[in-house]
Every structure is written in C-alpha cells, then in structure tokens.
Amino acid sequence: MHRHEDYKERLAAHALDALETAEARELEVHLATCAECRAELDGWQETASALAFAAETHEPDASLRSSILERARTLAQPEAARESLETITNESSNIIPFNAQPRRAWASMQTFGAIAASLIIAALAVALALLWQRNNRMEAEVARLSRDYNQSQIELAQAREDRKLLTAPGASMAVLNGTENAAGARAHLAYDKTTGRAMLVADGLPPAPEGKAYQLWFIADGKPLPGGVFNTDAAGHGEMREQIPPDGRAAAVFAVTLERAGGVPAPEGKAYLQSKAAS
Amino acid sequence: MYPEQAQDADAELLRAIARGEEQALAALYDRYRLILFGLIQRILHNRAEAEDVLQEVFLQVWQKAADFDEARGRPFTWLVTLARSRAIDRLRSLGARDRLATASAREETEAVADAVTDAILSERGKVVRDALGQLPEEQQQVLLLAYFDGFTQSEIATRTGTPLGTVKTRMRSGMTKLRELLGTRMKLIS
C-alpha cells in the first residue's frame, strides 16, 4: 500500500490517462475513499481537457447533426432505454453499442467505488483469515516452546539437585547387584544420610509386567521400610528420586522387588536387586 | 464567451437533455461540434472514424446526461473527457496507434508553433496553445503523446528513449506549469 502523498503525485498523470493499468487501478481504489484526491483529480481533469484546444477545430459533415438527432429520437432516455437500445444495437449498424462505459465518465465512479469497496472488503477478509490462521499457528508454536522450556527447566533443576546430592558432604553411594531373577541388572543408589535425599539409577532390569512396578526397600535391622516405586524403559533403564524416611537413613542394605504397581507396605514379590552393604 | 453564463447554460442544456429535449441536444452539438470534432480527428487522423465517434459521443450524452454531476466539474470538461476517452478507445481498437503516433507528435510541434501567430483560431485555442508553447518542448511532447495518442508513461519512455522517471517528472511538471499558466485565463475563457 502507498501513502496518500504517493497517490497525490500520480493524479496529474491519471488525468491524462497515462498511468499503467495496475497503477491506475490502485489509484482508483484510493480515490474511492479519498475525497481530497478526488477533488484534486477533478482539477487536473480540467487542465487536461484544456489540451483539447491544442487541436485545430474542424467542421464535421453537415449531415452528422441530423443523423445524431434522428438516432437520438430512436434511442429512448435512460428509464426506457435498455430494451430499445438492444433492438438498435442488434440492427446492422456502424455504431458501437453502449455496453462499454466511457473510461472517464464520472458516473462510473460510483459503481467503481462500490466495486472497489467490495474488493477491499473481500481482500481484508482474506487477509484477516490468513492473519488469524497465522496467529493460531504462532500461538501453538509459542505454547509448544513454552512447554519445552518448562520441561528443560525441570530437567535442569533435577540435574542440579542430582549434582548437589552427589557432591554433598554426607553423600554415600550403594551398589545394588542383580539377584538370580535379574542376573544382568545393576543399580546405584546415591543418598544423603543427613537430608534423606536419594537417587536410584538402575539398568538391565526386565520390563515390569502389566500392573507391576519395581519398589525400593531400605532394610534397617533386618526390617524392610518401603521406598518409592519406579518403572523401566524398553532398554531396562530406570531412574527414581526419593526422600528416605528418617528411620530408613541408617539402613545397611537396599533392595528392589517387583510389586503391585502402586507399591506395597511390606515386600511381597521377588527381589531383583540387592546391595551387599552400605559404605 | 462569458464563463459563468456559458457554464450555467451548458449545465442547463444537460438538464434539458436528461429530460429528453432534443433541441437541447442540438444546441449542445452546435456549441461544441467544432472543438470536439477537432479533438477526435486529431486523435484518430481519420475523418470517417472521427465522425462516427462524434456521433457516438453525442448519443452517449443523450443517454447519460443525467449522470453529469455539477459538483465534480464543468460540463465542458465532462464533454471533452468523454469525447477524448471514446476516441482513444477507438484508436486502440483500430490498432493504429503506433503508426500514427510519430506523425502526430511532429504535427503537434508545428501546430503549437503556428498557433501563436494564427489569428483565425478561437480565443480559447489561442490561450491554450500559447500556454503550451511556453512549456519546454520535452514537457509538451510528453503531455501531447499522452493526451492525443493515449500512451502511458512507460510507453512514452520506450518510444522517446527517455528514462521512466524523467517522463514522470516531465509530465507532472508540464501539467503543473500548464495549470499555472491557464489558472487565471481558463476562468476567462470557459
């Protein structure tokens, strides 16, 4: 879209009909909504029409006058015009029918204005729909990025926690080896005896059957205290963060059994991992 | 020619034509046939075609007089604009534009040159020709190629081997200068 000033610059050329088709069309659309430019164009039209005087005057054939009047008589005036006009233009005649409006007749401006207005409205509607679509896409994208960002923040916080756990002064590490039920399995339990924070990383566990999950136990004085429940991925890898209850923090042995998915207060299933002794 | 009266009289004629009064159409024809026929002939360079277009123009006036809007300009401007645009349409439909253009530009230079000394031309013609004659020749050429040959700015640029930007500037300057020169005098001659 051009500015009003750009359009103003074209008015003189438009009065001479000298703009390119596309330029002229653009300007006409602007004219439909700009009274100032319309008024200025009227002024330029006057100047342009003065150029007619640059042509030498000529006398047409005298018979033309009566010929015009005679034809005018057969051409009805506007209200009744249409039908008889068609009759006449259907006759063999060297008169070009009046279907085509003169390009510069002011009368056509109103029609043009209406057409231009509906074109503008249609174009705006399309633009609006496109913007709306685009906006929806952008919103979805922003939501996705925001989710990703939150996820990353959570993971980052977790990683910081994990590092803190591993480097804390009271940190301990226990190694859990696979029992006869999972010979290839192995896990590490890092825990802080002071705070009770713990992290278990297990590998090589068979996938837990439907409705079952692995559960961690803290065994102090031969008595198992229930810990959290976790699952493994397809590769047999599982991770779990845990808060060890105060009476479990002195545990010497850790074990992992396969239990009902929600976990149980006392071990019922087979043991899959077990530590030798706390370090 | 008395400007206000002439304009009022023209507007009155158009109103009468819109009411279907044939003698008003005849009066308008009598008043403007020479200038309009001159204009059309100048564009078409063909007498028979020009007479055909002139007839077309007056029959269109007969049918469209009611559309004339006094608020938008003088009846004369409306009439000339109509005639010029019908003639250019005919010129384009004849496909004769290219062949004629060069001749027309040349002819115009002569006509303008002659105009000042030509005593038999109408007062209005003299004023306009005089004003045109005061424009630099390249501005005149651009205006005349657009007005009488129906060339667009880029067609003029190609035809005259001038950069498009220059053509645009010449056209705008030419029109501005012409408007200035005619400004006060046009009121007197309308």
Average pLDDT over residues B124-132: 85
pLDDT band at B96 (very low <50, low <70, confident <90, very high): low
- Whether B28 has its CB under 8 Å from any CB of chain A: the answer is no
CB contact under 8 A, B74 and A9: no
List the alpha helices (DSSP H) in chain A: 4-15, 21-31, 35-50, 63-74, 78-90, 107-167
Instruction: Assess contact for B105 and B144: CB atoms under 8 A.
Output: yes
| Minimal C-alpha gap between B33 and chain A (Å) | 7
Segment A45-96, tens digit of pLDDT? 999 999 998 888 888 998 999 999 999 888 866 654 444 444 444 444 444 4
Mean pLDDT lowest among A11-20, A193-202, B138-147: A193-202
CB contact under 8 A, A47 and B78: no
How high is the ipTM of this complex? 0.83
Mean pLDDT lowest among A160-164, A228-232, B109-113: B109-113
What percent of chain A clears pLDDT 70, i.e. is strictly above it?
86
Instruction: Give the one of A19, A42, A44 whose C-beta lies nearest to B153's C-beta.
Output: A19
The predicted structure's pLDDT at residue B135: 94
Cβ neighbours of A71 in B, within 8 Å = 55, 59
Segment A151-188, tens digit of pLDDT? 888 888 888 877 777 777 778 888 999 998 888 899 99
CB contact under 8 A, A54 and B108: yes
DSSP line for B25-80: HHHHHHHHHHHHHHHHHHHH--HHHHHHHHHHHHHHHHHHGGG--GGG--HHHHHH
- Joined together, the tokens standing for residue A176 give 């859990």
Element (H, E) at A206: none
What's the mean pLDDT when you consider all of chain A? 82
- Joined together, the tokens standing for residue B68 give 């004339």
Q: Give the residue, A73 or A98, on which the prediction is more confident.
A: A73
| Minimal C-alpha gap between B49 and chain A (Å) | 10
Average pLDDT over residues A107-119: 79
Residue A97: closest CA among chain B residues belongs to which residue?
Answer: B56
Look up the pTM and report it.
0.53
Whether B86 shows a pLDDT value over 70: the answer reads yes
Cβ neighbours of A73 in B, within 8 Å = 22
Average pLDDT over residues A36-41: 92
**Tokens 């938008």 sit at which residue?**
B72
Segment A2-28, tens digit of pLDDT? 688 889 999 999 999 999 989 999 999
- Whether B84 has its CB under 8 Å from any CB of chain A: the answer is yes
Whether B50 shows a pLDDT value over 60: the answer reads yes
Whether B171 shows a pLDDT value over 90: the answer reads yes
Q: Give the residue, B186 or B30, on which the prediction is more confident.
A: B30
| Minimal C-alpha gap between A143 and chain B (Å) | 50
CB contact under 8 A, B66 and A78: yes
CB contact under 8 A, B171 and A16: yes
- Cα–Cα–Cα angle for B111, B112, B116, nearest 5°? 110
Instruction: Give the one of B41, B67, B147 whose C-beta lies nearest to A107's C-beta.
Output: B67
Taking residue A262's Cβ as centre, other Cβ atoms within 10 Å add up to: 9
The predicted structure's pLDDT at residue A104: 54
Report CA-CA distances (Å) from A106 to A116, A256, B69: 15, 93, 7
CB contact under 8 A, B54 and A60: yes
CB contact under 8 A, A53 and B124: yes
CB contact under 8 A, B154 and A20: yes
What's the mean pLDDT when you consider all of chain B? 82
CB contact under 8 A, B129 and A46: no
Give the B window 115-144 contacts with A, CB below 8 Å.
115, 121-122, 124-125, 127-129, 131-132, 143-144
